[in-house]
């Protein structure tokens, strides 16, 4: 089904659900008030009043669930639109690209650079892999979820959500160097020690953890430091960067910002498509901005 037809279908479905839910909630509230008044006047026994009130409250909750479900359709459309744009644009922007819009990176790949703790649940989507300037890369959206227990039961909450990029470098540095924004939390510090650069601004923003100080100083050249500071300004979410052997990992922990550009309220116009394509081209921006094709990254 064409994307615009899907959008219009979801709009009609949402409007029906919202209207039905509002009507059900209004009628149930009226019923609760009537039962309370008539019960106080002695038309019903206390037991019957409580039973009828309980049924009316249950109907009210059902109406609320229709409202919640109707409201969620906008989020569903954002995901559908993001997948549609990715499927169309990625092969055009990166000839030979492999697109699996409904899938994510393997969980072990997401956890490999050591940015995040292991989740209780994992969701991934918007996967694609391609080649730029001779550098293979793969990327996808990730959603890491943990179980939170309380006296009311167990709920599941996202603690890390964004986009991860993995680039395969031409050189194996045989070391691990992590650059993390200090507002984040470092995990699995085994074999790593903290390193500081000559840049005060960089040291204030980032924590550097390395298994080899020489590799850290080789990678964190003045131009790399400037580029990472610029990247931190460009992306409002958390920024995580890691060089692990021959891999460069970049995580932009910005929730669902990449899908939020699509709206159920308006057709997918060229301006919105262009924004979507710019997000798909982020690997190009990262490779160029971080000079990953520079000589020091060659074998």
What's the whole-model pTM score?
0.85
In whole angstroms, give the CA distance from residue 209 to residue 196: 9
Q: What is the model's pLDDT at position 257?
A: 78
Q: What is the model's pLDDT at position 26?
A: 93
Q: What is the model's pLDDT at position 183?
A: 62
Q: What is the model's pLDDT at position 61?
A: 92
DSSP string, 115-142: SSPPPSEEEEEEEEEEEETTEEEEEEEE
Contact between 86 and 101 (Cβ < 8 Å): yes
Q: How far does CA 190 lie from the centroid of its chain?
A: 28
| Other CB atoms within 10 Å distance of the CB of residue 61 | 12
234 three-class SS: helix
> Per-10-residue mean pLDDT for the chain, 299 residues long?
88 94 92 84 77 87 92 91 94 96 96 91 96 94 93 90 93 87 65 87 89 87 87 79 92 82 89 90 89 70
Q: What is the chain's Cα-based Rg?
A: 26
Burial 219-258 (b: 16+ CB within 10 A, else e): bbeeebbebbeebbeebeebbbbbbbeebbbbbbbbbbbb
């Amino acid at each position: 089904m064409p994307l615009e037809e899907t959008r219009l279908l979801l709009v009609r479905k949402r409007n029906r659900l919202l209207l039905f839910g509002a009507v059900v909630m209004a009628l149930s509230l009226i019923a609760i008030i009537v039962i309370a008044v008539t019960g106080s006047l002695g038309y019903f026994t206390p037991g019957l009043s409580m039973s009828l009130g309980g049924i009316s409250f249950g109907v009210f909750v059902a109406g609320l669930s229709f409202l919640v479900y109707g409201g969620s359709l906008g989020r569903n459309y954002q995901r559908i639109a993001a997948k549609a744009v990715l499927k169309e644009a990625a092969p055009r922007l990166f000839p030979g690209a492999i697109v699996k819009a409904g899938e994510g990176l393997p969980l072990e790949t997401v956890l490999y650079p050591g940015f995040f703790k292991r989740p209780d649940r994992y969701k991934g989507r918007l996967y694609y892999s391609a080649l730029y300037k001779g550098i293979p890369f793969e990327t996808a959206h990730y959603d890491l979820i943990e179980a939170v227990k309380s006296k009311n039961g167990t709920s599941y909450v996202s603690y890390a959500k964004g986009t991860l990029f993995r680039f395969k470098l031409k050189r194996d540095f045989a070391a691990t160097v992590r650059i993390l924004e200090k507002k984040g939390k470092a995990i699995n510090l085994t074999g790593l020690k903290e390193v500081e650069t000559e840049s005060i601004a960089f040291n204030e923003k980032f924590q550097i953890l390395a298994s080899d100080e020489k590799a850290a100083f080789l990678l964190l050249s003045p131009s790399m430091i400037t580029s990472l500071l610029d990247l931190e300004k460009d992306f409002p979410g958390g920024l995580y960067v890691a060089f692990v052997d021959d891999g460069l990992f970049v995580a932009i922990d910005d929730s669902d910002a990449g899908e939020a550009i699509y709206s159920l309220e308006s057709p997918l116009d060229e301006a919105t498509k262009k924004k979507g394509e710019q997000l798909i081209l982020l690997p190009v921006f990262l490779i160029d901005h971080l000079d990953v094709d520079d000589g020091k990254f060659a074998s």
